[in-house]
Structure formats: structure tokens, C-alpha cells
Chains A and B, each alone.
Chain A
Amino acid sequence: MSVGYDGVLGWIRRFASEVEANKEYLTQLDAAIGDADHGINMSRGMSAVVAKVDEQSGDQDVGALLKTVGMTLVSTVGGAGGPLYGTLFLRMGTAVTGKSELSPDDWAAALEAGVAGVQDRGKAEPGDKTMIDALIPARDALKQALGGGATFADALGQSAAAAEQGMQDTVPLVARKGRASYLGERSAGHQDPGATSSHLLLEAAAETWGDSPQGSGDHEGGTNG
């Protein structure tokens, strides 16, 4: 199966509503080890994104759509989240420029390019207690599942489950990047807000695209063990 322009749009909208629904939760996580604004900033950015993509019609280029999302986040979110999520979407868009739909391999390539962009911008490694700790397991699980012949829906589900595991695994970590790193050992015992919003992003993809008629429908719950 492939995901068309409207499917990608559906994912963006779903992520936006997930961010909105989890705005206070993300901000609370950030208050514990950062500066209490992650949910607020992501909500402001994704509201702007939804307004922006609504006025952008006619063009069916998925790559252009993702770049618009990225530029909008860069210019509205601020903080570290703006450049990081902005770069994630910009690089995803560049990886699939000109495409009107995404095959599973296209999505894997987009995610890979996006994650590489986040690492270029933020210089974070796995284990630094950042969004990378959710994104890299999600990228790897997706690739492995697709390589093993899983349906797209299953692969998306495994990708989201890996992001969730990665997110939970940030709890005991001592932060080495971002404002949480100022806390040193005191940052341990808290879940990273960036990894949490990254999990929402991958979960939104699994839920939006896994629900399509072509999918196996076995994306949620079952893959989370």
C-alpha cells in the first residue's frame, strides 16, 4: 500500500490533535527537567501548521507539504523544538520531493533522512535523553519490519512501539543535551518530553495509516506486547 497526499495530511492533523491533547502533559514533563514550555511550543507550532496546510491546496506534492510543515515549525515554535522538528520535516520533505504518494520504502527513507537531520542539528547521540532516543528505535524497527516482509501497517505499529519503548527508556537516563543537562544526575527519573512528542508523531502515523483499508489492522496493542 501507499499513502497519498491526503493520507499525509491526515497524519499531520492527527499529530496536531495529539499534541493539543497532550499539551499539558508535555509541559509538565518539561517542567520537571527543562523549562516548562514544550507542550505550549509544540501546540503553537502545530496549530500554525494546520492553518498553513489548510490554505495550501491544489499542489499534491507530499515533499512540498512536508517542507511547508518544517518551515512553519521553524518560524513558530522557537526553543530547541523549532529547529529540531523543523529540520526533521524539512529533511523528510527533501527525501520525497515531487512524490504524490509515499510507498513504505519512501516513508522509511523519509524517516531516515529526517532523523539524520535532527542529529545534524542537535548533535545528540542515543542515550543523551532526547527525542533521538525515540526516533532512532522507530526508524530501525520500521526498516527491520519492512525488510522482514511485514505489512506497512504492522511495520508502522512496530515503529511506534519502538518509539514508545525508547521514550520509556529515557526515564533513568542522565541528560547530556539541552536544558535538562544542567540538572546533571537530577535529570534521571524523568521521562524526556522531546522523546514523548516524537513518540506521538510515530504513533499518529501508525494510527492514521494503519487504519487504512489496505492495512492489516493489527497495528495497535498487538505490537506493543
Chain B
Amino acid sequence: MKKLINKPDDVVTEALHGIAAAHPDLVNVQFDPNIIVRADAPVQGKVGLVSGGGSGHEPMHGGFVGMGMLDAACPGEVFTSPTPDQMLDATKAVDGGAGVLHIVKNYTGDVMNFEMAADLGGGEGIEVEAVVIDDDVAVQDSLYTAGRRGVGTTVLAEKICGAAAEEKQSLSQVAELCRKVNANGRSMGMALTSCIVPAAGTPTFDLPDDEMEIGIGIHGEPGRERVKLAPAAEIVERLTTPILEDLPFEEGDNVLAFVNGMGGTPLIELYIAYNDLNRLLGERGITITRNLIGPYITSLEMAGCSITLLKLDDELTRLWDAPVKTAGLRWGA
């Protein structure tokens, strides 16, 4: 294992200390239990937005704490859901009297821990709503499985709902908006390489030089199929076609196109993928009116990308454009 770390067991703690040292103007980092809280929390009269999940997806979620996005993030161990006491502390820290929204990615552990946090927090007198993001079209949705995973749309939901909360929209409005973003966003990802969980020390799966995994999640879990490596244009088409068919996205739609790097793929390649995506959508009469390109929801050092499309209307576009000031996303402020 070659990593820029000191000790495998200290990866999350030391990274949190780094975030605290780098961004004191934006966030407060608290330890035991670990939470990253907006520096000026709680903001009175504003719905508090809390998200969380395993670490290893940086900048998500801690890098999205700040004005116009999240009020707190609960970082778990690498690829491991955080615990209910983190979520409970985060909820209390950001409650400004208007309630708290939990944005939960649909993974068994995340959902169960957030549920336990809600059970434990029932007596705290804080109004809490939870919205589960499940946008990954690679997973067959079924009553008999864990359902679709929450991936790229999570980033977009956190930005858009953060803007709505900043406008002092109510808890039920922000929660409804979050469900709307989830309903209109679809994603799919692929891996060129595996990744190494620091505490494990070896790659989570083996991937020969001439193969790739299609339909991966963000935790090094293998995808649904392994196929021969192909040019970027083919990969983009393989990811985009199921996304377009699923919602479906149709001629005349305006979309936000999010080309996400999994951590080990350089921007130059993500722009190649964006070029292919732009052409493919153009051929179908779908217009990209907003875009986001870069590593925002990563899987450690995994090489690969995911594509997320979000169908935009005037409301979502306006909230996407609203000012945001976080370590990971910043404009207009």
C-alpha cells in the first residue's frame, strides 16, 4: 500500500484536524463524536441540514459544510457509516429552531444509523425529517433488495437544499425540494481501478489492466458487470444510456450534467468525458444548461468516473446558482 498517510488507524482523525486547521472561517470540527459543523451554527430560524456517511468520499460531506450548503457533516470511518451519537450531536448543534433535515444516502448502514439517531433524538424536542437519496441506476430497484444507492445526486441535493434553507424555507419545503431533486436526478459510475481502504491495506477488488467495472458504487464495492476497457466515448454512452432511459430524459429537457471523478482520474480525462457527454446529449436534443466537473464524491484513489444528470426547472436552476461558500464548492460569495 502506497499512501500519503501516517498511520492507517489515524487517517480520519488526522484529516479532520487538517480540515479544522485549513478552514476555521468555515467550520468547527468537534471530536468524539466526530462532527464538522458550520462555523456560525446554529443559524437562527434556518432549517439545519445534516448529512453524513463514511469517509473516503472527500470533499463530500465535510467539504460541503458552510453557507448555502450543509450545516453539519458526520464523517464515519473510511467507507463506514457514522454512528447515531454523531448524528444526534450534529442535529443538536445545528438546530436553529426551524428543524433539521437529514440527507441520507441509501446504504443499509447509513439508513439504519440515521434511524437509530432519530429514535434516540425523539426526546430532544427537535423536529427532524429525513430524505433518502437513491439515484444510482446501476442497481435494480426492488422491494426485496437494499434498493438503489445514493451517489452523485447527493451533492446536487445538498447544494440546492442548502440554498433553499438559506432563504428560510420551512423544513417541509426543504424536505419536499430534496425529494424533488432525488426524483429528477440519476447517476451511474464506472471504475478503471480498485481502491485501497487504509485499514485493509490491499485493493478491495482486482481489476486486470484491460478491464473495467461498470455500475460501481462509491465504496470500492464491485459493479454489476466487468467488461473490456473501451474508449471514453463508449464508456460515456454506456453510463448515460441507462440514465436517459430510466427517468426518462427527453428531447427538449434542460439538465445539469455532473461528471464526477472517483478520486484517481485527472480533470483532463473528465473533460474528455464531458465532451462526449455534451455531444451525446446534443444528438438527443437535451441541453446542458449547468454543469459540474471534478472530483466531488470520490472513492479514495479509485480511477473512474460517474455521470449524474439532473432535470432542471427554473426553481432548481435558481437555487443551484445561489451563492455557496464551502471548502468544496464556492461561488457568488
Please list the residues of chain A having a beta carbon within 8 angstroms of any beta carbon in chain B. Answer: 27, 31, 34-37, 40-41, 44, 74-84, 86, 121-122, 176-179, 181-184, 186
Contact = CB atoms under 8 A, between A and B. Distances in A.
Nearest to A82: B83
A35 B221 CA distance: 5
B112 interface: yes
Contacts of A37: 77-80, 197, 199-200
A151 B9 CA distance: 44
B81 A80 contact: yes
B141 to A, nearest CB: 11
Contacts of A84: 112
A178 B146 contact: yes
Contact of B77 (A78, A179, A183): A78
9 contacts: A34-B221, A35-B197, A35-B219, A37-B77, A79-B81, A121-B116, A177-B145, A179-B146, A186-B224
Contact of A79 (B33, B80, B224): B80
Given A78-B77, A81-B109, 6 more contacts: A35-B204, A35-B219, A37-B77, A37-B79, A176-B144, A184-B224
A74 B116 contact: yes
Given A44-B77, A76-B83, A79-B81, A179 B219 contact: yes
A186 B33 CA distance: 36
B42 interface: no
A72 B191 CA distance: 36
Contact of B76 (A34, A78, A83, A177): A78
Contacts of A36: 79, 197, 200, 204, 220
Nearest to B219: A35
Nearest to B8: A40
B261 interface: no
Contacts of B138: 182
Contacts of B139: 182
A74 B220 CA distance: 24
Contacts of A74: 83-85, 116
A151 B54 CA distance: 45
B44 to A, nearest CB: 30
A42 to B, nearest CB: 11
B205 interface: yes
Contacts of A78: 54, 76-77, 80-83, 109, 113
Given A35-B221, A78-B83, A186-B224, A179 B107 contact: yes
Contact of A40 (B107, B109, B199): B199
Interface of B: 33, 54, 76-85, 107-109, 112-113, 115-116, 138-140, 144-146, 149, 197, 199-200, 204-205, 217, 219-222, 224
B72 to A, nearest CB: 17
B87 to A, nearest CB: 11
Contacts of B85: 74-75
Q: Which of B78, B113, B138 has the most CB of A within 10 A?
A: B113
B81 A182 contact: no
A33 B221 CA distance: 7
A179 B144 CA distance: 13
Contacts of B145: 176-177, 181-182
A183 to B, nearest CB: 6
Given A27-B200, A74-B84, A80 B112 contact: yes
A84 B111 CA distance: 12
A181 B147 CA distance: 8
Contacts of B107: 179
A35 B195 CA distance: 11
A80 B83 CA distance: 10
A182 B221 contact: yes
B319 to A, nearest CB: 31
Contacts of A77: 80, 83
Given A36-B220, A40-B200, A75-B33, A182 B113 contact: no
A137 to B, nearest CB: 21
Contacts of B112: 80, 82-84, 121-122
B217 A182 contact: yes
Nearest to B218: A35
B84 A75 contact: yes
